[in-house]
């Protein structure tokens, strides 16, 4: 049918992407399932063959074409190498953000458009709001004004299911990418997605959700990093600079972490200790019972790099921000100066570190964000 809109669905073999494909076919889209093959480290558990088989079974049930797209090179260079490089610098990276930017909505989107698709779709829990709904837009219409409105008036929103919302990981996507994207399950609760999978008789209806690093799955990140970064035992310091224990390698720890190091000099209170600072050159980590950086600051001012604004924020307006996934949003303001962007929180924050993604929200609208450079 010439009027059908063509969509390539990234099918991971999980229930969310399976239901996304089923919903789009039910809505009348010309759907093709695509399994993205990513790079996997040798010596670690890998389920990509089983996942691909599950995706193929779903495609067979839905009676849709199925393709496999090899993006191993892109994933290794843009996600894994980036992650290792950041850890070497003592920073806290977010590989899931880079996976979305470079793989799912980078290489996959480019492949789909080259193949003639109008959209790509995934099983992300997020929503898009367009000035002109998809159902009202005919792609064969040559009215440039309509096309411009469709392309430019778009907002990225939190999912209806706040517990599953993944908009935090999507802040790097530009409008040029988003205009070719669909998030079919963003309007549903996770429990409803499971019921839909049963309704469509999908073989993934009872499959457990994947955990861990994007594509690679549940691996011990410290074991993974030891394969690529040389580590050595170092000192654990308290806030006064006194040696109170030891760790197994400064690169293996992130700000806010409270496991993996040994405190030999116990306090009378014996409370949990958190990493609050790292010195890569001296191979030391500093820990505290407070789990705070700049805990005495009344205002936390953060400079950002790698910024992407889906909608430009206004100086002085109060927004909400997250610098961790599933973090409760915190009030903040944005300011600009000397070519830099700054975010100022209304109160001190715990466990914030260079390299993390800071994502800005105006209520349920995700405005975009940047990478934290300096705290």
Catalytic residue IDs: 99, 214
The CB density around residue 299, as the number of other CB atoms within 10 Å, is 12
Nearest to 356 by CA among 341, 374, 337: 374
CB 261 within 8 A of CB 246: yes
* 51 vs 58: CA distance, rounded Å: 11
* 372 vs 340: CA distance, rounded Å: 12
CB 24 within 8 A of CB 9: yes
Nearest to 150 by CA among 109, 114, 178, 112: 178
* 310 vs 19: CA distance, rounded Å: 27
Residue 287: beta bridge partners? Answer: 275
* 117 vs 111: CA distance, rounded Å: 9
* 362 vs 369: CA distance, rounded Å: 12
DSSP string, 90-116: T----HHHHHIIIIIIIIHHHHHHHTT
Looking up tokens 């924050």 gives 349
Nearest to 132 by CA among 106, 154, 113, 107: 154
* 67 vs 56: CA distance, rounded Å: 9
DSSP string, 202-251: -TTTTPPPP-SBTTTBS--HHHHHHTTS----EEEE-TTS-EEEEES-GG
CB 98 within 8 A of CB 82: yes
**Category of 242 on φ-ψ map: left (φ > 0), alpha (ψ -120 to 50) or beta:** beta
> For residue 37, with 0-12 CB atoms within 10 Å meaning exposed, 13-18 middle and 19 or more buried, which class applies?
middle
């Amino acid at each position: 049918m010439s009027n059908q809109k063509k969509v390539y669905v990234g099918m991971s073999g999980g229930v969310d992407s399976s239901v996304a494909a089923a919903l789009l076919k039910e809505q009348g889209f010309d759907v093709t399932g695509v399994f993205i093959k990513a790079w996997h480290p040798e010596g670690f558990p890998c389920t990509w063959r089983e996942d691909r088989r599950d995706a193929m079974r779903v495609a067979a049930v839905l009676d849709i074409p199925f393709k496999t797209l090899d993006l191993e090179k892109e994933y290794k260079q843009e996600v894994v190498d980036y992650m290792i490089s950041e850890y070497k610098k003592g920073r806290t990276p977010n590989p899931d953000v880079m996976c979305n930017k470079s793989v799912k909505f980078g290489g996959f989107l480019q492949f789909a458009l080259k193949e003639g698709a109008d959209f790509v779709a995934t099983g992300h829990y997020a929503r898009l709001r367009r000035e002109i709904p998809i159902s009202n837009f005919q792609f064969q219409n040559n009215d440039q004004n309509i096309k411009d409105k469709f392309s430019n008036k778009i907002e990225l929103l939190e999912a209806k299911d706040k517990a599953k919302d993944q908009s935090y990981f999507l802040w790097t996507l530009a409008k040029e990418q988003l205009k070719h994207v669909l998030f079919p399950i963003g309007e549903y609760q996770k429990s409803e997605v499971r019921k839909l999978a049963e309704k469509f008789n999908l073989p993934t209806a009872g499959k457990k959700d994947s955990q861990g690093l994007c594509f690679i799955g549940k691996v011990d990140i410290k074991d993974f990093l030891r394969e690529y970064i040389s580590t050595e035992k170092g000192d654990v310091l308290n806030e006064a600079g006194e040696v109170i224990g030891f760790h197994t390698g400064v690169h293996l720890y992130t700000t806010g972490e409270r496991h993996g190091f040994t405190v030999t000099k116990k306090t009378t209170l014996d409370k949990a200790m958190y990493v609050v600072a790292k010195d890569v050159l001296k191979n030391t980590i500093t820990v505290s019972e407070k789990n705070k950086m700049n805990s005495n600051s009344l205002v936390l001012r953060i400079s950002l790099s790698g910024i992407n604004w889906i909608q430009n924020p206004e100086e002085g307006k109060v927004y909400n921000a997250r610098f961790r996934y599933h973090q409760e949003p915190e009030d903040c303001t944005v300011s600009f100066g000397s070519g830099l962007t700054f975010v100022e929180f209304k109160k001190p924050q715990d466990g914030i570190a260079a390299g993390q993604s800071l994502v800005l929200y105006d209520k349920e609208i995700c405005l975009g964000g940047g990478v934290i450079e300096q705290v």
